Chains A and B, each alone.
Chain A
Amino acid sequence: MTTTTPSDRARGQAGNNPTERAGSRESAPPDAPRGEDPETVLTVEGLDVGAGTTQLLHDVTFSIQRGERVGLIGESGSGKSLTALAVMGLLTEGLAAHGEVRLAGRDASLLGASESRMSRIRGRDMAMIFQEPMTALNPTMKVGRQVAEVMTQHSQADRRSAQRKAVQLLDRVGLPDPAAVARSYPHQLSGGQRQRVVAAIALANDPLLLVCDEPTTALDVTVQALVLDLIVSGVQERDAAMLFITHDLAVVATVCERVLVMYGGRIVEAGPVADVLGNPQHRYTQGLVAASDLERSRTDPGRSPLDTIPGNVPPAGKFPDGCVFRNRCAFATKACEQLPPWTPRGEHPAGEHASGYACFHPVGSDRDE
């Protein structure tokens, strides 16, 4: 984390008080932030991330309830991974973050928290599964020790019992002969097995929040199906909250209950998966769903070209002001030069940002189609 506003700093100090470590998920801590619903695990509010004068994330606001699985979709460069890294406190030097990231049981925003504080939270209260399991694992350390390490780091567990528990965890993520796997090095395992090990590490301390960034993109389809199941069941058993990043609409619909659509560093639409992907409102989501529809086969009579979104995703910082999608949108008008307000869609227990869209010309609004 690189920037701290004065108020962040004040809160960061408050974070050192002993109640922070005592935060348990069974009883909402008395100092739960601003009397929010104790079921809310993660709250991100007005998150802005910038590099110098280029703003990369704009006013990202969402929350995730306990036991809720939320997907974050969008094309490359839309800000998905940046959002995850900001939540985890893993933004690289030179990126400045503003806004608030709050985790249940922590009374202060995690943005601007010191590294020593974040390293106590990361791996225990929130954990992350990355796309490339080979780079997420230490190549010089046996797998069992890597799983055990995350437990000895965050609790009083001694090495021997942590080792024993590591083997149990490896068993629970479906690795055959877990004792042998524990004794092997990452390069001796296949990609799918490595990703299972990463999942075991992420789930070792029963986190409140699991963040997954394209966890199956590098895997073959068969292995993907099995690893997705493993992640979802691991999260369900622990009643944890999950933020799942992917570019694959079918994967997000399989794994998540609710989805956030990002484009140009903004959340442009959000809501239950069936609403957003089955009946999108924002013109970008509509284009994305149409462009990924490959279900018409080559041999189908009357097969027409695929629907496309014209143009390309602009590079970071080159998105138009107002509506970020307006330079590629067939429905854009003068009005779109202004930032479209968030329009809630239906009632959602997690608040108005949980379901809605930001578009002046939502699907079905004008004389389109």
Chain B
Amino acid sequence: MSETQTPAISLRGVNREFRRPRTSLTGTPAVVHAVRDVSLDIQPGERFGLVGESGSGKSTLLKMISGLDRPTSGEIHIEGQPIHDRSVRKLRWLRRRLQLVFQDPMGSLDPRMRIREIIAEPLAAQGIPRGDKINELLERVGMSTDAARRFPHQFSGGQRQRISVARALAPDPHILVADEPVSALDVSVRAQVLNLIDEVVDGFDLTLVFVSHDLSVVRHVCDRVAVMRAGEIVEVGTTEQLYEDPQHAYTQQLLASVPRLSEALAGASAAQLAARTRAALAGSGAQDEADVAALAEEGARADAGAAGGGGVPAEDIRHDRHEDEGGTIG
């Protein structure tokens, strides 16, 4: 993949708008810009992080990269192939190249399927013979092979997330997209899953797109990070640049408001944290928290729309519902 120097993922002028539900019979419905004019190249083998607060548009962007949603305008190429039209043939091809791991490991595994079937499903969809693959994958993610005959509810959250990773690896993808994969996990299990993601990205030579609201998790995992706010990417840089020397006021604000254990143990109080946050807020142009909240709410509604809620054209809802369930449609 790298010999051609084609970016693993390339976005050009990507926009996504959602129509708000009508509030009056005469007025035109309001439009929410969930993603605005995003252009971005992610190189093969890169570990790319996407951070932002709720409603920033990061999940909508991720859905479009993964072929689960269609941009209103703009182009998305995966390994040089355009996928923004979301033709069935392209999506089938895409699922072999790009796989997903979701936040909620219970919601993303079918409770009525045995683990064996869950991991085999993407293989069947792609017409890949399963052979010994299921046992190999289970071992690869640190699960015993007995797990194959059991059901998702018999596992803890961390184990289910391991199973999700095994399923994602089944069709030998080149790109792994992880949407808040550790947000629902406890600290001790979070460390295990982060180590696992580390291992498989290195071991399978994957390109990683990692979305999180948690800046320290992204810092630990990624080489390069983009910060999103209100649908726009406000800053992109290497992890080092972004965390050591943030340029955009919003990045500075996010970093300022994260409580840190080392600082707190050295005596930093809640009042000091809040003062630092307020100073950064003033710098980033948001007048106060209400502004931040207004932006977040706006985006949250857009996200709700993206998840198949109100305001989305009917045909889109049909597609989204279907694909959101498995995430392995081939």
Contact = CB atoms under 8 A, between A and B. Distances in A.
A222 B188 contact: no
Interface residues of B, number: 59
Contacts of A278: 265
Lowest 8 A-B CB distances belong to which pairs? A190-B293, A229-B274, A253-B264, A309-B188, A75-B186, A306-B191, A220-B53, A225-B277
6 contacts: A222-B281, A222-B292, A255-B270, A278-B265, A294-B220, A309-B191
Interface string A217-228: 000111111101
B240 A299 contact: yes
Contact of B188 (A176, A287, A296, A305): A287
A254 interface: yes
A318 to B, nearest CB: 11
A76 interface: yes
A294 B217 contact: yes
A348 B153 CA distance: 45
Contact of B220 (A249, A298, A313): A298
B254 interface: yes
Given A233-B271, A254-B270, A292-B187, A274 B265 contact: yes
A306 B293 contact: no
B286 to A, nearest CB: 8
Indicate the member of A228, A233, A287 with the most B CB atoms within 10 Å: A228
Chain A CB within 10 Å — which of B53, B186, B256, B268 has the most? B186
A191 B293 contact: yes
B219 A294 contact: yes
Contacts of A153: none
Given A247-B186, A254-B259, A306-B191, A225 B274 contact: yes
B262 A295 contact: yes
Given A221-B257, A229-B271, A299 B156 contact: no
B265 A291 contact: no
A305 to B, nearest CB: 4
A265 interface: no
A298 B223 CA distance: 6
Nearest to B220: A294
B323 to A, nearest CB: 27
The binding surface of chain B is classed by DSSP as helix
Contact of A229 (B216, B221, B260, B273): B273
Contact of B239 (A193, A232, A298): A298
Interface in B190-221: 190-192, 194-195, 198-199, 213, 215-217, 219-221
A231 B273 CA distance: 13
A158 interface: no
Given A221-B254, A277-B261, A247 B293 contact: no
A365 B148 CA distance: 42
Contacts of B269: 232, 254
Given A225-B277, A295-B216, 18 more contacts: A190-B297, A221-B215, A222-B254, A222-B257, A222-B281, A230-B274, A233-B270, A247-B186, A248-B259, A250-B264, A253-B265, A254-B264, A273-B264, A292-B187, A294-B216, A294-B220, A298-B222, A306-B194
A225 B280 CA distance: 12
B248 to A, nearest CB: 14
A13 interface: no
A193 B288 CA distance: 12
Given A251-B259, A294-B216, A306-B195, A220 B296 contact: yes
A337 interface: no
A163 to B, nearest CB: 23
Contacts of A247: 186-187
Most buried by A among B215, B219, B222: B219
B188 A221 contact: no
B213 A220 contact: yes
Given A229-B271, A306-B195, A223 B292 contact: yes
